[in-house]
Structure 1
């Protein structure tokens, strides 16, 4: 079992190395469902014109871009610790001419460089299982979201019903690292994915973690037979 510092260094190296092929591999590992999951999430979030968002572990910026477009002119910030990922994301933003609305920042999800009560939404997509301290990250998300605002996590999860569960774990633990080797010559990096999920809380346990940091009206939605999950929690209006 890695300590927090070792995990952080390892995950950073993984994502720095796979950045150019990250979008393609997301299609593969999610059975091409990750875009549908994100559309479902955006419907549940119901972002309004002018609302502000912070997207943690933003990677190559797809969700950051979706949040910006949904808000019209709302200020949108993407944060990630991988410079290579951010460079890919910045190229997308520049191509769409959204540089004034979207800011990308290299930083740590456990120590956010923002004041309390700064954003209407704080999101994290396929990144929470990679942070060394999940609770610390959720507390930081809650700190910087406005009272009445929402923290949102879209993440891979753990199927519970057979035979799908057995098939999925075979795919995830045995086939996926081989696919990483075939498609992007990165066997070791894609072996990290099943390892990262093994110790990650399941649907109900993650909902309890949301409640433990003080989020209210917590909703948890299993997606595609539990392969992924969406969690949304609301910060109390008194800011606690």
Structure 2
């Protein structure tokens, strides 16, 4: 699948699954995605007033968590799916965060923001769906402030047996069936294992972070390596 075809396919998938997205995340990850996000927030150590851009924000759970951690800092969520953003906007409004959080429909490979705009730029469970990973990382680095953090929480590839075999059996065989049973979307949830096949594993993604000029890159395997957290820093400007 070429880049343009992938982009169109992924857009169609997420437009389709938006109404059941939150429920299916809980079911398919056995609610582990919530624990992964809490771990990530602890590692980020966000301070009051700091600003954040959340890419592929989807239905905005992480966007809202970032805004709450900041307290007063501007928080922006960006996604290419209008249906996902509509659900996210309803959550933002319900939480009374409409003044602090702005949602933007846009492309993670071509961010509509000035250089050095945010203290944090995050992406959760979205990088593997983007046709050009390196371009996206370069854009994240461009818009984060010097000394700011680039944060990626994503599915990954467990390396040790027998867990690896069990995981791939679940991910490739059982997960699409659960998508069919619970969301009536078997074909769309078959995309999840497909999207991981060519995605870099934990050390390879850490090397991509370094290749675009990020400093102090740290990578953390989560739940036996089925997910991973990567954090890199944009180099501070010299005096």
What is the CA–CA distance in structure 1 between the aligned matches of 2:94 and 2:211, rounded to whole Å?
A: 41
What is the CA–CA distance in structure 1 between the aligned matches of 2:60 and 2:73, rounded to whole Å?
A: 16
1:105-124 correspondence to structure 2 within 5 Å: 105-124=104-123
Residues 34-56 of structure 1 deviation map (CA, whole Å, 9 limit, x = unaligned): 00000000000000000000000
Shift of 1:30: 1.5
1:169 corresponds to: 168
1:7 aligns with 2:3: no
2:27 corresponds to: 28
For the residue of structure 2 that corresponds to 1:35, the secondary structure is helix
Shift of 1:233: 0.2
Number of aligned residues:
238
TM-score under structure 1 length normalisation: 0.98
Residues 49-86 of structure 1 deviation map (CA, whole Å, 9 limit, x = unaligned): 00000000000000000000000111000000000000
What is the CA–CA distance in structure 1 between the aligned matches of 2:81 and 2:192, rounded to whole Å?
A: 17
Shift of 1:238: 2.2
What is the CA–CA distance in structure 2 between the aligned matches of 1:96 and 1:202, rounded to whole Å?
A: 36
Shift of 1:212: 0.1
2:188 corresponds to: 189
Please list every run of 5 or more consecutive structure 2 residues that lacks an aligned counterpart in the other structure: none
2:145 corresponds to: 146
Residues 104-146 of structure 1 deviation map (CA, whole Å, 9 limit, x = unaligned): 0000000000000000000000000000000000000000000
2:155 corresponds to: 156
Shift of 1:6: 0.1
1:205 aligns with 2:204: yes
Please list every run of 5 or more consecutive structure 1 residues that lacks an aligned counterpart in the other structure: none
What is the CA–CA distance in structure 1 between the aligned matches of 2:26 and 2:135, rounded to whole Å?
A: 29
Aligned structure 1 segments of 4 or more residues deviating by more than 2 angstroms: none
What is the CA–CA distance in structure 1 between the aligned matches of 2:86 and 2:114, rounded to whole Å?
A: 25
Shift of 1:28: 1.9
Shift of 1:27: 1.1
What is the CA–CA distance in structure 1 between the aligned matches of 2:64 and 2:76, rounded to whole Å?
A: 10
What is the CA–CA distance in structure 1 between the aligned matches of 2:93 and 2:16, rounded to whole Å?
A: 22
